[in-house]
Structure 1
Amino acid sequence: MMIFKIFRADEWAVLCADGQTLGAPVDLADGFIHFSTAAQAAETAAKHFAGIDGLMLAGVDADTLGPDLKWEPSRGGALFPHLYRALARAEVVWTAPLPLTADGHDFPELPA
């Protein structure tokens, strides 16, 4: 199953340059990297990234993340994937920009 992380441009640049990341400031504060499923990603973008241009959507195969990936209740009690370790750039297997339009972010078709 593919899970998704939304990166601001500077966060994506750090991941690419350093080869790994502990995530955005909210991830550091919470102690885990926030991910979304394909069904949750657009709502995550609207709620937490409204009006932000230059975003990158990164897909990771959840099955490769091992026991450090936990599914925990969040928004409305839905289970969200949370990674309790650094994410390596090599673990990102799919990417797409999330351009900002007048109606919000333009999402590509997401892989399963």
Structure 2
Amino acid sequence: MDAKNLLQRMCSRQGLSLSRGSHLLPLVERALHSPESVRNRILTMVANSLARKVNGEEVEQATGTTQEDLDQEVLISVARVMHTWTPSARVHELEDLLPDLFPEGFDPKSLD
């Protein structure tokens, strides 16, 4: 299925025009290229975002708020998986290597 057509159908179900949900198109595209479990989670987040838009919980101009909401949902989903994850021995080995890789400490801003 085409991502734009799927988003159009999702918007129509909520009584929204495609233009009101167009900022979510990259997420729908990503969903269609993901495994089924990931696809379902992403599409659920998109559907929830569209429902919030209908309920007036999103301000028309506040696309940053939408992104923050989606980021929060993704973080919660990842956290649910990570809390049941046990790091392998290789991960622990990497933990020991990090001080050698960054002897002066790691500052993500230095990557900019």
Smaller-chain TM-score range? under 0.3
TM-score by length of 1: 0.22
TM normalised by structure 2 equals 0.22
Identify, as 1 or 2, the structure richer in helix: 2
Instruction: Please identify the structure whose Cα radius of gyration is greater.
Output: 2
